[in-house]
Amino acid sequence: MSVRHFLTLRDLQPEELRRLIQRAGELKTAAKAGQHPVSFNRRVMAMIFEKSSTRTRISFETAMAQFGGHALFLSPRDTQLGRGESIEDSARVISRMVDIVVIRTAGHDRIERFAEYSQVPVINALTDTYHPCQLLADMLTWVERHGGVAGRRAAWLGDGNNVCHSWMNAAQLFDFELNVITPAEQKPDAQLLEKTASHVRWSTDVAEAAGADLIVTDTWASMGHEEEKEERQRIFRPYQVNQQVMAAASPDALFMHCLPAYRGQEVTEEVIDGQQSVVWEEAENRLHAQKALIELLLT
Ligand code: CP
Ligand code: NVA
């Protein structure tokens, strides 16, 4: 049987995703009661991080500890990957010793190449193009708060980036509507817009967020774009999530952000620290959702 990977949300069927979110909720309830019903004793996860991380690294390491397994953090500074060993050779070697691999890297093609040569499941922990693990946590959070997501409407404001792309995939797979609102020069991938057209509408007009059940944004300068920070602040300024945006949304609208957040830029302090913000639950849910994902891929 071929190995299953999780490189984008599309690697799972809508029904599998629905069950995974449900399972994540069960694992969360169990963990809150001090119970850890799943054991992956002696199983090892390799975590290759070619970019910085707080939440993703901690949630995967904690997940493996709670399963009774082990996680190895591998940075390019300390491995031969950082000295030019090929991704294909690294995949062949690493996947002969561990049970599952998590990778955060820049080019999406790098993770695809690793997966092609890996004997064990590979999980995308963020590439420049997608961040599917984030969406598992976001969907869990949305379901917990609103009881379901099908037929609802979310609005993405800001950069048409990796997290935005995963929201577009989620809209189609979880069957909700998504307004993607970005400056013209930072719109999401055109092919993905076409592919997700049944559920996603792109616009440059912030007024399109009116009435949405959920408002979501992300940093204006993703990892790798640090040197464009000033220029980006100018372009994105009209897309800030502030009280006006929240006031125009549905009265029980949620505010989400994958974090790290930059107060006063993509979101005001009032909004991220306000009543409608669910960002801390969203961050915690990374752990529970990824536990359900690991369980699915290891069994
Ligand atoms: N949201 C997220 O992926 O955070 P980290 O970059 O801290 O892992
Ligand atoms: N879009 C951001 C997400 C960080 C979790 C980045 O790629 O830096």
> CA–CA distance from 248 to each of 97, 177, 179, 241, 255 (Å)?
53, 17, 14, 11, 13
Residue 266 has pLDDT above 80, yes or no: yes
> Which residues make beta-bridge pairs with 156?
180, 216
* The ligand 2 atom nearest the CA atom of 258: 5
The pTM for the full model equals: 0.98
Q: Which pLDDT tens digit goes with each residue over 11-43?
A: 999 999 999 999 999 999 999 999 999 999 999
Question: Cβ contacts of residue 278 below 8 Å, gap of 6+?
Answer: 141, 145, 254, 255, 256
Q: Which ligand is nearest to the CA of 138?
A: 1
> Atom 4 in ligand 1: which residue has the minimum CA distance?
55
Give 82 Cα–ligand 1 centroid separation in angstroms: 21
Tokens of 8: 């984008």
Q: Which pLDDT tens digit goes with each residue over 142-176?
A: 999 999 999 999 999 999 999 999 999 999 999 99
Q: From the candidates 11, 134, 153, 290, which is the catalytic residue? A: 134
Residue 1 has pLDDT above 70, yes or no: no
Q: Which pLDDT tens digit goes with each residue over 40-72?
A: 999 999 999 999 999 999 999 999 999 999 999
Q: What is the pLDDT of residue 64?
A: 98
Tokens of 202: 């792109």
**Domains, the chain, with CATH or none:** 9-130+284-298 (3.40.50.1370), 134-282 (3.40.50.1370)
Q: Which pLDDT tens digit goes with each residue over 204-236?
A: 999 999 999 999 999 999 999 999 999 999 999
Q: Which ligand is nearest to the CA of 164?
A: 2
- Dihedrals φ, ψ of 62, to 5°? -65, -40
Q: Which pLDDT tens digit goes with each residue over 170-194?
A: 999 999 999 999 999 999 999 999 9
Query: CB under 6 Å to ligand 1: residues?
Result: 53-56, 126, 134, 258-259
Residue 134 is a catalytic residue:
yes
Give 12 Cα–ligand 2 centroid separation in angstroms: 22
Residue 116 has pLDDT above 90, yes or no: yes
Which band of pLDDT confidence, cut at 50, 70 and 90, is reported for residue 94?
A: very high
Q: At what angle do helices 132-146 and 162-174 cross, to 10 degrees?
A: 50
- State which of 103, 259, 266, 286 you would mutate to test the pocket of ligand 1, scoring each by most atoms of that ligand within 8 A of its C-beta: 259
